[in-house]
């Protein structure tokens, strides 16, 4: 997770520098923080609903999340929120979206590429579809507000909350003591 975050951050910074891209601004406003918080809540609730009613998504998400989350302890979820939330948003919404035009075509393309980033095998297409959809809403929030803070807050909190919920619902079976 840390290595991927560093790689994505490096790609974003190199693209920004060599592509002469003006990164989407990130600045603090209470209103945009609350929008990010609300978006994170909506994504987390929607993910839980999809997990309950869409069996293919449930299998796909459980496969992906077990791969990523099973070895983590609860304090690791702070890093699970921060590292991907910051690096992925900087690349996809902060640099890539402006570089591709800040329009609907750029939004769709960056969303699809965000989904591909979450590829872990051909049988995991529902998780890729879900990540693409979430990428669309994160990108839309950036386009509508002009502030990278909204998708960053949403992404960080969604990863943190969803990770904690999944871990809580899927505890590791520890061997019984002798």
What residue ranges do the domains of the chain occupy?
25-169
Q: How far is CA 66 from the centre of its chain?
A: 16
Q: Measured between alpha carbons, how far apart are the two ends of the chain, in Å?
A: 35
The count of residues in the chain is 178
Q: How far is CA 143 from the centre of its chain?
A: 17
Q: What is the value of pTM for the model shown?
A: 0.92
Walk along the chain (178 residues) and give the pLDDT tens digit of each residue. 789 999 999 999 999 999 989 999 999 999 999 999 999 999 999 999 999 999 999 999 888 888 888 888 888 889 989 999 999 999 999 999 999 999 999 999 999 999 999 988 888 899 999 999 999 999 999 999 999 999 999 999 999 998 888 888 877 654 444 3
- The Cα angle at residue 49 between residues 130 and 82, in degrees rounded to 5: 55
How far is CA 53 from each of CA 58, 130, 161, rounded to the nearest angstrom? 8, 14, 20
Sequence-ordered list of residues with C-beta below 8 angstroms from that of 149, at least 6 positions apart, any chain:
26, 27, 28, 29, 32, 33, 36
Nearest to residue 2, comparing CAs of 121, 108, 102, 84? 84
| Rounded Cα gap, residues 97 and 107, in angstroms | 7
Give DSSP secondary structure letters for 97-112: HHHHTSSHHHHHHHHH
Q: How far is CA 117 from the centre of its chain?
A: 10
């Amino acid at each position: 997770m840390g290595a991927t975050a560093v790689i994505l951050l490096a790609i974003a910074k190199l693209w920004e520098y060599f592509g002469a891209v003006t990164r989407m601004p990130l600045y603090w406003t209470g209103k945009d923080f609350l929008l990010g918080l609300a978006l994170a809540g909506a994504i987390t609730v929607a993910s839980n609903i999809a997990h309950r009613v869409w069996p293919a998504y449930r299998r796909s998400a459980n496969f992906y999340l077990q791969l990523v989350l099973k070895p983590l302890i609860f304090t690791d979820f702070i890093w699970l929120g921060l590292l991907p939330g910051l690096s992925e948003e900087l690349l996809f919404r902060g640099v890539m979206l402006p570089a591709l035009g800040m329009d609907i075509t750029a939004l769709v393309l960056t969303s699809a590429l965000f989904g591909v980033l979450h590829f872990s095998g051909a049988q995991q297409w529902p998780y890729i579809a879900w990540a693409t959809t979430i990428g669309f809403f994160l990108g839309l929030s950036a386009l509508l507000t002009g502030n990278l803070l909204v998708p960053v807050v949403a992404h960080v909190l969604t990863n943190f909350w969803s990770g904690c919920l999944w871990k809580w619902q899927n505890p590791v079976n520890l061997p019984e003591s002798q």
